[in-house]
Structure 1
Amino acid sequence: MTNEMAVIVLGVGLVLVAASMIAAGAGYLARRDGASYPAAVTRAGAALAATLTVVAAATAALAALTGR
């Protein structure tokens, strides 16, 4: 495994952990707000998807700027 590959794998892992934590926080806050479990899970899923979308867009923009 090259160093570049290792950095990519660690970066993906970090993004997944951060997105999961954001989703868990959104679900927790939804429950605190009085939402039902299905509604809280839906909000958590939406937060996870939004986080991954923002990271993907930022990665694509960075790749376009660096020419890779």
Structure 2
Amino acid sequence: MHVLAPKPLMLFTGVHLPPGEPRRTPLLRPSARQHTTLYREFAVAVAVVLLTIALMLIIALLAAAGAGKLARMDGATYPTALARAATTFAAVVSLAAAVTATLSALLT
């Protein structure tokens, strides 16, 4: 009887197993693999939230800068232009908070 030697398994090279070859999985407990996935999903969710907050702040700052520039072009003094820019920034942040609250209420 002739016994074939097992073929070496190339990990992390993108090489697929030939048909009929049994799939070899890492020797981890199923609970350990699940926890890793849970932590990764949580990290991705936190990253998405932080990037969304950063994008919202950038948009609010750009809107405030535009409002301040338009106020100055209209002939307003610097304190008045700054007050209009601050009002615009607060309005954009409040609008983003209202949209977030509405979407979270609808999606949960």
TM-score (norm 1): 0.96
**Structure 1 segments (4+ residues) deviating >6 Å:** none
Deviation (angstroms), 1:61: 0.1
Separation in 2, partners of 1:42, 1:27: 8
- RMSD (CA atoms): 0.8
Q: Percent identity?
A: 46
| Equivalent of residue 89 in structure 2, options 45, 48, 56 | 48
Query: What is the aligned length?
Result: 67
Give the match for residue 5 of structure 1: 46
TM-score (norm 2): 0.61
| Equivalent of residue 98 in structure 2, options 57, 60, 64 | 57
Structure 1 or 2, whichever has the larger Rg, is 2
- Give the 3-state SS of the residue equivalent to 1:44 in structure 2: helix
Contiguous gaps of at least 5 residues in structure 2: 1-41
Separation in 1, partners of 2:101, 2:67: 26
Deviation (angstroms), 1:60: 0.1
Higher normalized helix content (fraction of residues): 1
- Please say if 1:30 is aligned against 2:76: no
